[in-house]
Amino acid sequence: MLSRHPTGKQQWTEERRYFESDGRPLYAVMYRAERPGAPIVLFCNSFSENHCEGRAEAIAARIIAANGYSAFLYHPRAHGDSAGDLEDVTFEDLIDDAVNAAIYARSRSGASQIVWVGVRFGALVAANAIRRITDSTGLALWEPVLSARDYFRKSMRHVMYFEMSQGDRPSLTVDQMSERIRREGKISVLGFDLYRKFLESAQEADLLDALQPWRGPTLIAQFQKHSRLSREHNQLRETLVRRGLSVRAVLHRGPDGSDPWWTPEVIARQMGDWLDELA
């Protein structure tokens, strides 16, 4: 499906298509802008339940397209409208999907360079995929997960917090949940099933380790109600700066105390300025 959007700074089109990754059809949307020589912006969404929050990425992609930069969103295997079974997915599979998405997006758009946007857990995916794609010219990290192991443990703790918020005593501790997934192969974690195969394949993933070879411009976007960078994001920024990278951090607190994730326009406009500087 193709639709035209003449509003904004530049006209752009929206194309919904499927592309193939390891023999599986994956759903994608390209927001195509006609700006010769501009890189294409590729979004690596988060994993499982956080992937469903793609509204923010879609809004940002449209704003970026209106600024003259094509943007590409896709559903990795077993997510959204793409084929696959979550029980079979590994971390390496998500990296393969990101690499294949980049190859397809670049060929489809005619862009010679790619700017990656890693969203939450997708930051780990992008950081590993970027090592396999030449002509990557920038990396934006939205609320990046620094450690997969910490991410999984936080997801399990959220189950405990939810049960306590309902007035119940937590049914399992984090260690007990970890033991159950090893024994039974999966656990339910507030809206999705976390499978042993994926946890074991991903739990050693570390953002700073994956970014060791990266030397390109980097943007860290924080969607929190704080007036300064969190400790983890500041650690990430300082480490990348020590490695000689050009790093910009942008903070979005949201209007009137609302969840900043639902109003990504501020970050999208600041990303547009950052992209202009990269050009």
Report pLDDT for 4: 52
Neighbour tally for 60: CB within 10 Å: 28
Q: Which two tokens stand for residue 38?
A: 């501009």
122: DSSP letter: H
Report pLDDT for 53: 53
Neighbour tally for 125: CB within 10 Å: 30
Q: Which two tokens stand for residue 242?
A: 């020590």
Q: Is the pTM of this model over 0.75?
A: yes
Identify which has the larger pLDDT, 7 or 116. 116
pLDDT in tens, 207-247: 999 999 999 999 999 999 888 999 999 999 999 999 999 99
pLDDT in tens, 107-148: 999 998 999 999 999 999 999 999 999 899 999 999 999 999
Categorize the per-residue pLDDT at 6 as very low, low, confident or very high, splitting at 50, 70 and 90.
very low
**What phi and psi, each to the nearest 5 degrees, are found at residue 172?**
-140, 145
Cα→Cα distances 129→29, 96, 165, Å: 19, 7, 38
Report pLDDT for 48: 63
Percentage of the residues of the chain whose pLDDT score is greater than 70: 94
pLDDT in tens, 65-105: 999 999 999 999 999 899 999 999 999 999 999 999 999 99
Report pLDDT for 2: 45
Strand, coil or helix: what is 1?
Answer: coil
pLDDT in tens, 33-60: 988 889 999 999 887 655 455 788 999 9
